Amino acid sequence: MSIPSCFKIKIFADGADLENILALAKNPLISGYTTNPTLMRKAGIKDYVEFAKKVLEHITTEPVSFEVFADEFGEMERQAREIASWGENVYVKVPITNTKAESSFELIRQLSAEGIKLNVTAIMTIPQIEGLVEVLDPGTPAVVSVFAGRIADTGRDPIPVMSRSIEILKSKRLAEVLWASPREVLNIFQADEVGCHIITVTPDLIKKLDSAGKSLEDFSLETVKMFFGDALSAGYSIPLRGR
């Protein structure tokens, strides 16, 4: 894979397929793992705890994030404590709000103060970052997942949000900014350039890393050959007129 050796950013694999996770565990580019209930549902996971513990049987040192899925803060807290107990390398994903748009700040403050490593997720605004920096404990590691890809989906440039987020969180030396929901390989270069600590990458996007740095002339020729080969394989033809 043609990833520049000068890259500082860490690449975390994002997914919920155990086979893929185990395969990626052999890839030196991957230094952590994340998942969420949506990915787990799409992967057909039936037992949340069973899946998580299977992952942790194999991934014992690299950080792995598992998300709470309650909506009431009391139950969210209970789930967070249980998830944190699964391993020293576990980060508990807590959404920035619940579904009622009620802030999770007080829960985050409490858990972080107790030394529970958090991955605060679904962040998209600077006010959310400004509130978060006030509640993260400076002595507890944390991941701050800013959904740059979803920001871009709205037609907004995510770079200013990511840059400002990094600046605000400088006072929390153990807090790492994560570029979430990337859409293309270019996003990895952008995230590294702006100073993000981590980017999550899906298996499909990891495969595309083979194209990083490729000659555009070569890539153009490969594309022409692909179109030509697929047309031949499909048996397409355009008959001459009158025949």
Q: Count how many residues are written for the chain.
A: 243
Segment 223-243 shows an average pLDDT of 92
pLDDT at 211: 87
140-183 per-position pLDDT tens digit: 999 999 999 999 999 999 999 999 999 999 999 999 999 999 99
pLDDT of 61 > 80? The answer is yes
pLDDT of 190 > 90? The answer is yes
**Which pLDDT band, with edges at 50, 70 and 90, does 132 fall under?**
very high
62-71 per-position pLDDT tens digit: 999 999 999 9
- The rounded mean pLDDT for the chain is 95
Q: Is 9 helix (H, G, I), strand (E, B) or coil?
A: coil
Query: Would you list the DSSP string of 96-155?
Result: SB-TT--B-HHHHHHHHHTT--EEEEEE--HHHHHHHHHHS-TTS-EEEEE-HHHHHHTT
pLDDT at 5: 61
pLDDT at 126: 98
Give the tokens for residue 200.
């999550």
Q: Is 23 exposed, middle or buried (0-12, 13-18, 19+ CB in 10 A)?
A: middle
- pTM here is 0.92
Q: Is 232 helix (H, G, I), strand (E, B) or coil?
A: helix
Residue 42 annotated as catalytic: no
pLDDT of 213 > 60? The answer is yes
pLDDT at 243: 58
Q: Which residue among the candidates 93, 172, 208, 214 is catalytic per the annotation?
A: 93
Domains plus CATH for the chain? 10-211 (3.20.20.70)
